[in-house]
Amino acid sequence: MHILLLGSGGREHALAWKIAASPLVTKLWCAPGNAGIAREAECVALDIADHAAVIDFCRANAVEFVVVGPETPLAAGIVDDLADAGIKAFGPSWQAALLEGSKGFTKALCTEFGIPTGAYGRFTKAADALAYVRQQGAPIVVKADGLAAGKGVVVAMTMTEAEAAIAMMFDGAFGTAGAEVVIEEISRRPRDQLLCAVRRRDRDSAGLGAGPQARVRPRPGGRTPAAWAPTRRRRS
């Protein structure tokens, strides 16, 4: 099987290492890759933001499967474009990727469907955001709405820090990712996180155990079952 991996970070290095170990793989490329990934795959100078170029590379090299690591191309719809071109890919559609690509979208979705989430506000003007934090007080969390390479969140412990974070984001520190700002209450409660992989044809199955769905695995560094969770909530 010919596989193309998109990305250049530690996440993609781990994926390359594991994919390369599969006996099904006859050729593995990574775009753009890095020096570490080059030990596992052939790195190619391909602009992964150029979806047409990615598709052309797949067709020219008989790529059968594409694995997408970074959030930015997922939010830009790379999986959708690959699917339209008849190329199989691992990753969410652009609509599903909005859960990662827009914090405001995710908060609004939680509110609409009754999913527990902290109190928040969404703002496109600095003056409105400042008025909100002054009303709520500190500590408080200030977030750039869009993708900011993991750097778009400030846990402000004082009003001075909150005001500085708002100014920084609206002044363009994160580009278009900070054009909208999400401000939410700080939470010190423990959280549950489930990471699930399902096949497209199984997504409408009824119940977690229905269909050949992937097993749920704990996040590295986490514990399962959670020590604080009531026994009746624990499932293997």
pLDDT digit string, tens, across residues 53-72: 999 999 999 999 999 999 99
Q: What is the pLDDT of residue 227?
A: 63
**Global pTM value:** 0.75
Lowest average pLDDT, out of 37-51, 105-119, 136-150, 194-208, goes to: 194-208
pLDDT more than 90, % of the chain: 71
Q: Bigger pLDDT: 132 or 201?
A: 132
- Upper half-sphere CA count for residue 187 (Cβ side, 13 Å): 10
| pLDDT of 192 higher than 60 | yes
CA distances 111 to 91, 106, 108, 114, 120, Å, are 25, 9, 5, 5, 10
Residue in 182, 157, 208 with CA at minimum distance from that of residue 106: 182
CB contact burial 14-46 (16+ within 10 A = b; e otherwise): ebbeebbeeeeeeebbbbebeebbeebbebeeb
Q: Please report which confidence band the pLDDT of residue 210 belongs to, taking 50, 70 and 90 as the band edges.
A: very low
* Structure confidence at residue 205 (pLDDT): 45
Is pLDDT larger for residue 221 or for residue 127? 127
Please provide the average confidence, as pLDDT, over all residues in the chain. 86
pLDDT at residue 19 in the model: 96
Confidence band (pLDDT; 50, 70, 90) for 37?
very high
- Residue 116 has a pLDDT of 87
Lowest mean pLDDT among 1-5, 198-202, 231-235: 231-235
pLDDT at 211 over 80: no
List, for residues 109-132, the tens digit of each pLDDT value.
999 999 988 999 999 999 999 999
What distances in angstroms separate CA 101 from CA 13, 38, 60, 71, 159, one per listed residue?
Answer: 22, 29, 31, 7, 27
Judged against a pLDDT cut of 50, whether residue 236 lies above it is answered with no
What pLDDT was estimated at residue 231?
58
Report the pLDDT value the prediction gives residue 164, as an integer from 0 to 100. Answer: 96
